[in-house]
Amino acid sequence: MSNFSASPGGIRGTALVGTADAASPETFRAVDPATGAPLDPPLSAIAAAEVAAACGLAEAAFPGFSQTDPQTRRGG
């Protein structure tokens, strides 16, 4: 659940919950599967309550979103 907008087009390492960034001091690193090298930035390990909030928002949005056409879903 990482937010893809820290640097221009980059990953910031926070989780997007609704319209807010969720972050914690606890972080973990993603790993490049081809090389085993850790990737930047560190990713925030969010709490179960934040995951539950994100899931609830996604569930609430699904009925309306599922009725939109693909072009609208892409923002165009």
Return d(Cα 44, Cα 41) in angstroms, integer: 9
| Predicted pLDDT of residue 48 | 94
Q: Which of 48, 45, 57 is nearest to 17 (CA)?
A: 57
Q: Which amino acid is it at 53?
A: A
* Rama region for 27: left / alpha / beta (φ>0; ψ in -120 to 50; rest): beta
8 within domain boundaries: no
Range of the domain at 34: 15-68
Give average pLDDT by consecutive 10-residue segment, the chain, 76 residues.
48 89 92 95 93 96 93 84
61 within domain boundaries: yes
Half-sphere CA count of 47, side-chain side, radius 13 A:
6
| Predicted pLDDT of residue 2 | 43
| Predicted pLDDT of residue 9 | 57
SS3 66: helix
Q: Specify the number of domains making up the chain.
A: 1
